[in-house]
Amino acid sequence: MGWTSYHADFYKNGKVDRKAELDHTYNYENENQTVRVLKSSMVGSTYYAAVEVVPKNGEDRSVTAAVVLTSTDMKDWYNFSCKCMDETCGPGESECPKSILKLLTPTTYEYAKAWRKRCWDNLEKKNSPLSLGKLPVGTKISFVRNGVEIVLEKKAPNYQFKTTWWYRASNNTYFQKKYLPTEFTIVAD
């Protein structure tokens, strides 16, 4: 499973419109089936879609998840790159929106079942009152990384930070949210 690169057809505000590009790719019809995107979404640079396949031989329709990693380079003629997978590959990316997961039909593929479970688990963690995003400003958390305890405080947006951020007082640095673990302890003052 490699990457495919080509010159994009769809643009928005001078940049490649990744969602439109992939929606177009996944909507087609041939002599055996009709394939169409029921719902799609970009989460960061990853495209998720509920893709309906309707066979023309009278078999039942199915709806599976497409997961596509994307990259763009506006300095190159081949300005759009994608790595297309479906849920049966057991992709590592598992931030699929609930609205797409709800459209999927039952599956017998074990990798797909495991992937769906990871997606539902991630959604549950995000909606937990103890998720990083829902903790109030001023909350301190601690976790261990490489044998070292790290204590961070959630700070309000200011200066170069447009959203809340995590400050480490012991060495006067900040942590990006994407590098924080999902398992942590809330520190009481």
| pTM for the whole structure | 0.77
Predicted local confidence at residue 187, as pLDDT: 86
Distance CA 78, CA 72 (A): 9
Is the pLDDT confidence value at 86 over 90?
yes
Residue boundaries of the structural domains of the chain: 4-127, 135-187
Radius of gyration of the chain (CA): 21
Q: What is the mean pLDDT of residues 106-128?
A: 92
pLDDT of residue 183: 80
User: Over the stretch 132-145, which tens digit does the pLDDT of each residue have?
Assistant: 778 889 899 999 98
User: Which residues are paired to 154 by β-bridges?
Assistant: 166
Alpha-carbon gap, residue 4 to 16, rounded angstroms: 15
Give yes or no for a contact between 68 and 46, defined as CB atoms under 8 angstroms apart: yes
Condensed to tens digits (0 to 9), the pLDDT of residues 121-176 reads 989 888 776 777 788 898 999 999 889 999 999 988 887 778 888 999 999 998 88
pLDDT at residue number 132: 79
> Which is higher by pLDDT, 96 or 180?
96
* Identity at 128, one-letter amino acid code: S
Please give the pLDDT value at position 189. Answer: 66
Residues 64 and 84: beta-carbon distance below 8 Å: no
The per-residue pLDDT for 180 is: 83
- pLDDT tens digits for range 27-76: 999 999 999 999 999 999 999 999 999 999 989 999 999 999 999 999 99
Per-residue model confidence (pLDDT) at position 1: 59
